[in-house]
Amino acid sequence: MMRGMGNMQKMMKQMQKMQKDMQKAQEELADKQIEGTAGGGMVTVVVNGQKEIIEVNIKEEVVDPEDIEMLQDLVMAATNDALKKIEELTNETMGQFTKGLNIPGLM
């Protein structure tokens, strides 16, 4: 009976370490800045790890009052590119903690 308690304590320590590591990884992700581009770099959108847009850059030669729809499409494409990249980075970073785990209800 005592042997089982030792294993349980060891498992709890491992879970606490994993929880701290996950929290640290989430904090590091929040500090990341990911850039998405469209139109060959004519429009650039920067998002942070919390998926908030923190910067939008539009090259001067893109601004054509006659074709505002194209500019809107480029901003949307650059934003989606940046969000896709941060999602991939998040999955890659946080996925390391769930490798090999099969906990019903968690996955």
pLDDT for 2-37, tens place per residue? 566 778 888 888 889 888 988 888 888 888 899 999
Which CATH code of 3.30.1310.10, 3.40.50.920, 3.40.50.1000, 3.40.50.2300 fits the domain covering 39-99?
A: 3.30.1310.10
How much is the mean pLDDT over the chain? Answer: 83
Q: What is the pLDDT of residues 14-23, one digit of tens each?
A: 889 888 988 8
Query: Is residue 26 within 8 Å of 94, Cβ to Cβ?
Result: yes
Q: How far apart are CA 27 and CA 51, in angstroms?
A: 13
Packing angle, helices 2-31 and 68-98, rounded to 10:
160
Mean pLDDT along residues 39-55: 89
Domain boundaries, the chain: 39-99
Q: How far apart are CA 51 and CA 30, in angstroms?
A: 9
CA pseudo-torsion sign 72, 39, 80, 33: negative
